[in-house]
Structure 1
């Protein structure tokens, strides 16, 4: 980190010696339209992905909490298996699943009379397609929330049932507050991961020069652009400045989340 901080004030191409340029790299960030587009795409993806991922992971955890006996371990394993899949393989897989002509998703939509969009080539549908792909891997969040659900005191739920509380009331007033710390952790971790999205997007849209020419900047995420600057164009000083801007953005967002979480999270 110290080395990257120093390099962010230099012009460095990995071959020659770094040349000190002061704040030029940071000034270039402010004037670079592709940086603005990459930030816009990444933030929009984060705003869509994180709530969906948390809700779906909580739903899966609630389902797992209803399973008892030997089947419980089997279902926990099945739900976690996608987390073990290499991210590059997931990117290749979803290139086929989201194919506009013969993809499985559009085939399913066609059964209901819906004409599916061109997920991987239409700029307006690339980001929704990436969000769909990202929801494949909810295993870690599901297991964290499942563990939190298992620790909710049963006597509280039973007392609420005796008092006549319905399922929704028990979930809202007992379960949700008791698992709020774990849910808060999942929100922070998922937010940081979303802001650093790289592997699948690069595999799907930037793995070849031809793919990059056809997609333009519709799928340009911040870390993808950072990678391009550092390892394709050898602008390592500029890439280091990009990295520190991302670090600052993540730090600010996490700080805000912690301040908000202090008011909403219940700690025993």
Structure 2
């Protein structure tokens, strides 16, 4: 143990002879390199802490808190916009023809952004509304309910070619079921147009997304990013003082631990 403390004071520049003295005759070059890397890493963190400015970090924490809140608001606005679009779609779907372009997102189509699709067939459901069999822009078949359709794009021309398609025999006609398309459906899937995004249809969502992107840019360029590797400091400022104090004794403690581990591993 005295030898380990001696090496700790010597720092990462200690030669391999000292390292072998610390670990014993059975010490390998890899174990010596690991201890040297540990000492270098500790000195690196101590140098970062020497330049640590709690005022800058406090400002960064406020910025992160604001960004979190703005992201939450963006999510709410998107949900509200999607609900507003879908509220007038249900009755329209009753009269929608094969080949109509739709946007899918919901309980049975779990996507982050609406999936463009084309209506291929309607099948009887247990209630007032039918189930819909659709081909997605991703060349997959989907069985959905009217609640999974957030928009109906009747301003696009119908893709009449889908009338010749046959629903896959292995596709269960139950909501939530989906299957991959094939070579016959791939060209049709590519013809499905890209509808306007939620941001394009709802100006308040676009404005909020711009606000989030501006805050993200500020956070990425913030001076506190230089301490990002000190994860426990950047996430909890109160821990930095303890880390600053503990790092002064971390090297000898860590070396003692590595010494014991190295001896047991190498013998």
TM-score normalised by length of structure 1: 0.26
Structure whose residues are more often helix by fraction = 1
Please tell me whether Structure 1 or Structure 2 has the larger radius of gyration of its CA atoms: 2
The one of the two structures with greater contact order (alpha-carbon pairs below 8 A, sep at least 6) is 1
TM-score normalised by length of structure 2: 0.26
Structure whose residues are more often strand by fraction = 2
